[in-house]
Amino acid sequence: MPKNGRTGKSRHPAATQGLYDRIADVQNLAMKINGYRASVAKYLRSLHLDIGPDSRVLDAGCGTGLVTLAFQEAGYRPKRIAAVDLSLKSLAVARDEFGQQRRLAGRTDALQGNVLSLPFANETFDLLLMCGVLEYTPLDEGLGEAARVLKKGAPLVFLPVKPSVVGSVLELFYNFKIHPLDEVRSAAALYFNLVGNHEFPITEPIAWSKTIFLLEKK
């Protein structure tokens, strides 16, 4: 059991991979239509993150690449971006999307991997992006692994699904478990300093299901 007794859905990785392999194309189209990516890009742009030409960025649980695309749209130009997901179909869609973006095509690697066992050395990354993935894992384990691959003082932009009507519908559809926000804060405090917790205006599509925590590795 994870520290402090907190647990997640802990769904078997193969089942999660199979679900997203089946829905990757539909999910990608839906996210293009509903303005979700623009909401993420707007927020990331407002952070003025210290990301330069030598920076390395990880999008852990990247799905079809929406957050990586939003990051690029926000104007950030790191040296390399690693986009990691379990779903091979989602990664295929992400590679296609990245290939259509000149600035991403030569600097982004889409890799299969598990967010609880990331295929990188300690303190590799200058920034980690994580959206809607730890709902399948125990918080302590997922955040601990995120902290492991981040450099000291580096930020984690964490977008969990928040308790809401839309969140409850997604919880049933995707078969995950929403973590209460007070548990998110408690688990994050083991590894990170809380810099901010942003709530989107209700007019933004992402506001219906997500909140954002800006964290900094201790």
DSSP E strands, 36-121 = 56-60, 80-85, 108-112
What is the Cα–Cα distance from 9 to 126, expressed in whole angstroms? 29
Euclidean distance between CA atoms 135 and 179, whole angstroms: 7
Both tokens of 88, joined, read 């091979």
Q: Around Cβ 71, how many Cβ atoms within 10 Å?
A: 28
pTM of the entire structure?
0.86
Digit-coded pLDDT (tens) for 138-188: 999 999 999 999 999 999 999 999 998 988 988 888 888 999 999 999 999
Instruction: Please say whether the beta carbons of 188 and 158 come within 8 A.
Output: yes
Note the pLDDT of residue 1.
Answer: 29
Tokens standing for residue 38:
């623009």
Burial class (CB in 10 A: 0-12, 13-18, 19+), 117: exposed
- Selection from 159, 157, 168, 165 nearest residue 195 by Cα: 157
pLDDT digit string, tens, across residues 48-73 = 999 999 999 999 999 999 999 999 99
| pLDDT score for 74 | 95
* 6 pLDDT tier (thresholds 50, 70, 90): very low
**Confidence check: pLDDT of 123 > 70:** yes
* Domains along the sequence of the chain with CATH: 3-217 (3.40.50.150)
Look at residue 120 in the predicted model and tell me its pLDDT.
Answer: 98
Q: pLDDT at position 32, please?
A: 60
